[in-house]
C-alpha cells in the first residue's frame, strides 16, 4: 500500500479526530443542539444527559468519580484553573508553589504570573533524562507550600515523572498535587485514586478528540480540593467554570476517552514498536545521533533525537513530506533552542539540531520506513555541507579547537 504524503509524525502536537469520535459528535452538531443548562425541555435534557455520559467516560479512564470532572476549553485553561484556583483558595495557608523548569508553558506562565503577585515559586531542575525525583520535591517543601505542579509526561521528550512517589510525598506533607497529564492520558495508565493525584489536566485533541475542549479532575475526598473559579458568569460546573458547555466537544472528549480506556493496552505496545523502529532505523545508519529523554520511562509514542552538525530547521525543510516538530508546537515559532533540552543539559548546538517524532494511532510501518529514509538522506546531505562534521570524522576534538575571532 503506497504511503500517503505527507507523513504525519507530530502526534504530540495534535491528533486527527477518530472517526468513531466524530460519529458520536455528529448528532450534537446537527439535530441535538440543545443547551445542557436548559432544564425546561427535552432538547436541554438530552444535551445534559450527553454531557453527564461523557463525564462518566472520562472518570472511568482516570479511575475517578464523574462528580470530580470539570469541563474546560482545553488543558491550558485546566492548568490555569488548577494552579491559580488553588493558589487563591489556599492563600491564607501559604504562598509557596513547587514546579519544574521543563513544564509546558501552560504551567510555567501561570506560575510566573503568581510570582508577580507575591507567591514564591521553586523551580526544580530535572536530571539529564528530564526527571524530577520525589526526594527533590520533599526537600523543596516548606511549611508555606500549598501546591506542587509537575507534569506526568513531557511534551517534547516524553519523559515520565515518578508521579506515584511524588504524590505520596505531597500527601504525607499535606500539600495539593496537580499534574498536567495532557501527554500521558490515553497513552499510559493513570488512576487518580491509586496515584493520589489531587488535580489533573487533560485535553481532547491529544487523544483523537476535537480541539477546544478539555477537562480538569478535582479530588472530592481525601482531601477535598477546593478552587477559586477563574471565570465568572453563571456558576456552571459546580461553580468552578462558568460558560455554556460545548456539548459536541464534550461528547467527543468522552468518546475519545472511552476508546483510549478500552484500547490503550493493545495500542501502547504497538506505538512503542513503531517508535523504536524509527529510532533504530535512524541510529543504525547515522552516527552522532543522541536520544533526548529517558530511554525507558517515557511515553510509548515519543522519540526526540539530536543530529549533531545539522541545524534542525534546515533538516525539517529538507524533509517537507514528513511532518515533525523541533519542539513544542506552542513555542516552535521561536528561534531559541528548546528550553526543555537546555534544562536537561543539552548544549545549544545539539538543542538546535533536535527533532521530535511522535507516532500515533494511524501510523503504519510503511510510514515509519519512509520517514527513516527521508531523515537519513537529509542528514547525510546537510552534513556534506558541514566543515565541522568533516573535522569530526577526521578525529578532531572540536571542543578543544580555539576558533579565531572574526
Question: Per this entry, what is the length of the chain?
Answer: 406
Mean pLDDT of 158-178: 98
On the question of pLDDT at 332 being above 80, the answer is: no
292 CA to centre of own chain:
16
- For the segment(s) 19-260, the CATH number from 3.40.640.10, 3.30.70.260, 3.40.1350.10, 3.30.1780.10 is 3.40.640.10
Cβ count near 284 (within 10 Å): 10
pLDDT, tens digit, for every residue of 52-95?
999 999 999 999 999 999 999 999 999 999 999 999 999 999 99
Q: Phi first, then psi: give them for residue 349, nearest 5 degrees.
A: -60, -45
What percentage of the chain exceeds 70 in pLDDT?
95
Strands 176-180 and 120-124: unpaired
Mean pLDDT of 115-127: 98
> Would you give the DSSP letter of residue 327?
S
Q: Is 369 exposed, middle or buried (0-12, 13-18, 19+ CB in 10 A)?
A: middle
Cβ count near 81 (within 10 Å): 26
> Are 137 and 147 a contacting pair, CB within 8 Å?
no
Q: What is the mean pLDDT of the chain?
A: 94
Between CA 315 and CA 326 the distance in angstroms is 10
Catalytic residues: 330
pLDDT of residue 364: 98
Between CA 209 and CA 139 the distance in angstroms is 39
pLDDT of residue 403: 59
> Are 340 and 327 a contacting pair, CB within 8 Å?
yes
**Which neighbouring-strand residues pair with 121?**
97
What is the model's pTM? 0.94
Mean pLDDT of 315-320: 91
176 CA to centre of own chain:
20
pLDDT of residue 406: 55
On the question of pLDDT at 200 being above 50, the answer is: yes
pLDDT, tens digit, for every residue of 228-274?
998 888 878 786 888 999 999 999 999 999 999 999 999 999 999 99
pLDDT of residue 335: 67
| The three grid cell numbers given for residue 197, joined into one nine-digit string | 493525584
Instruction: Write the CA distances from 314 to 21, 190, 311, 353, integer angstroms.
Output: 37, 38, 5, 9
Mean pLDDT of 283-287: 97
Name the least confident of 28-42, 365-379, 383-397.
383-397
pLDDT of residue 390: 81
pLDDT of residue 240: 82
Between CA 344 and CA 31 the distance in angstroms is 51
Q: Is the dihedral of CA 93, 99, 104, 108 positive or negative?
A: positive
3 CA to centre of own chain:
28
> Are 218 and 225 a contacting pair, CB within 8 Å?
yes
Preceding peptide of 158 cis, ω within 30°: no
Provide the Cα torsion 115, 116, 119, 124; round to 10°.
Answer: 10
| The three grid cell numbers given for residue 17, joined into one nine-digit string | 479526530
Band (pLDDT 50/70/90 cuts) for residue 313 is confident
Mean pLDDT of 215-219: 98
**Topology of domain 7-13+264-398, CATH:** 3.90.1150
pLDDT, tens digit, for every residue of 10-30?
999 999 999 999 999 999 999
**Which neighbouring-strand residues pair with 143?**
none
User: Comparing C-alpha atoms, which of 340, 302, 282, 401 is closest to residue 10?
Assistant: 302
Mean pLDDT of 342-353: 94
Provide Rg for the chain, Cα atoms. 22
pLDDT of residue 330: 52
Name the least confident of 36-40, 106-110, 127-131, 261-265.
36-40
User: Comparing C-alpha atoms, which of 373, 176, 160, 187 is closest to residue 272?
Assistant: 187
269 contact partners, CB below 8 Å, separation of at least 6: 300
262 contact partners, CB below 8 Å, separation of at least 6: none
State whether residue 141 is helix, strand or coil: coil
Instruction: Write the CA distances from 194 to 39, 150, 164, 197, 392, integer angstroms.
Output: 36, 17, 8, 8, 50
Band (pLDDT 50/70/90 cuts) for residue 31 is very high
Band (pLDDT 50/70/90 cuts) for residue 350 is very high
pLDDT of residue 329: 47
Per domain, the residue ranges of the chain are 7-13+264-398, 19-260
| The three grid cell numbers given for residue 66, joined into one nine-digit string | 464523574
| The three grid cell numbers given for residue 323, joined into one nine-digit string | 511532518
Strands 302-307 and 354-358: antiparallel
pLDDT, tens digit, for every residue of 319-328?
999 999 986 4
Place of cell 503504519: 364
What percentage of the chain exceeds 90 in pLDDT?
85
Amino acid at each position: 500500500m503506497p504511503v500517503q504524503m505527507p507523513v504525519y509524525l507530530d502526534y504530540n502536537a495534535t491528533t486527527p479526530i477518530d472517526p468513531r469520535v466524530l460519529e458520536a459528535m455528529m448528532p450534537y452538531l446537527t439535530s441535538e443542539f440543545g443547551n445542557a443548562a436548559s432544564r425546561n425541555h427535552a432538547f436541554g435534557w438530552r444535551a445534559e444527559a450527553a454531557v453527564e455520559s461523557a463525564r462518566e467516560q472520562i472518570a472511568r479512564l482516570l479511575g475517578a468519580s464523574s462528580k470530580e470532572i470539570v469541563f474546560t476549553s482545553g488543558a491550558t485553561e485546566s492548568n490555569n484553573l488548577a494552579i491559580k484556583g488553588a493558589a487563591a483558595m489556599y492563600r491564607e495557608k501559604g504562598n509557596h508553589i513547587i514546579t519544574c523548569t521543563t513544564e509546558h508553558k501552560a504551567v510555567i506562565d501561570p506560575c510566573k504570573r503568581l510570582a508577580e503577585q507575591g507567591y514564591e515559586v521553586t523551580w526544580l531542575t530535572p536530571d539529564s533524562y528530564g526527571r524530577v525525583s520525589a526526594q527533590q520535591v520533599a526537600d523543596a517543601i516548606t511549611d508555606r507550600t500549598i501546591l506542587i505542579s509537575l507534569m506526568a509526561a513531557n511534551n517534547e521528550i516524553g519523559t515520565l515523572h515518578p508521579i506515584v512517589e511524588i504524590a505520596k510525598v505531597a500527601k504525607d506533607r499535606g500539600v495539593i498535587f496537580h499534574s498536567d497529564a495532557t501527554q500521558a492520558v490515553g497513552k499510559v495508565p493513570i488512576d487518580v485514586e491509586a496515584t493520589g493525584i489531587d488535580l489533573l489536566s487533560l485535553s481532547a485533541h491529544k487523544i483523537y478528540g476535537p480541539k477546544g475542549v478539555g477537562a480538569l479532575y478535582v479530588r472530592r475526598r481525601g482531601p477535598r480540593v477546593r478552587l477559586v473559579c477563574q471565570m465568572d458568569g453563571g456558576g456552571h460546573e459546580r461553580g468552578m467554570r462558568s460558560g455554556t458547555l460545548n456539548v459536541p466537544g464534550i461528547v467527543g472528549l468522552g468518546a475519545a476517552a472511552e476508546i483510549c480506556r478500552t484500547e490503550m493496552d493493545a495500542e501502547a505496545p504497538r506505538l512503542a514498536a513503531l517508535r523504536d523502529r524509527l529510532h533504530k532505523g535512524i541510529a543504525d545508519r547515522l552516527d552522532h545521533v543522541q536520544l533526548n529523554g529517558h530511554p525507558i520511562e517515557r511515553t510509548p509514542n515519543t522519540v526526540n533525537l539530536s543530529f549533531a552538525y545539522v541545524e534542525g530547521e534546515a533538516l525539517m525543510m529538507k524533509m517537507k513530506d514528513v511532518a515533525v516538530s523541533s519542539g513544542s508546537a506552542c513555542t516552535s515559532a521561536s528561534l531559541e533552542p528548546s528550553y526543555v533540552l537546555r534544562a536537561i543539559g543539552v548544549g545549544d548546538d545539539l538543542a538546535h539540531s533536535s527533532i521530535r517524532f511522535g507516532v500515533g494511532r494511524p501510523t503504519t510501518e510503511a510510514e515509519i520506513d519512509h520517514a527513516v529514509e527521508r531523515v537519513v538522506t537529509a542528514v547525510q546531505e546537510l552534513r556534506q555541507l558541514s566543515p565541522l562534521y568533516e573535522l569530526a570524522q577526521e578525529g578532531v576534538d572540536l571542543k578543544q579547537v580555539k576558533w579565531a575571532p572574526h
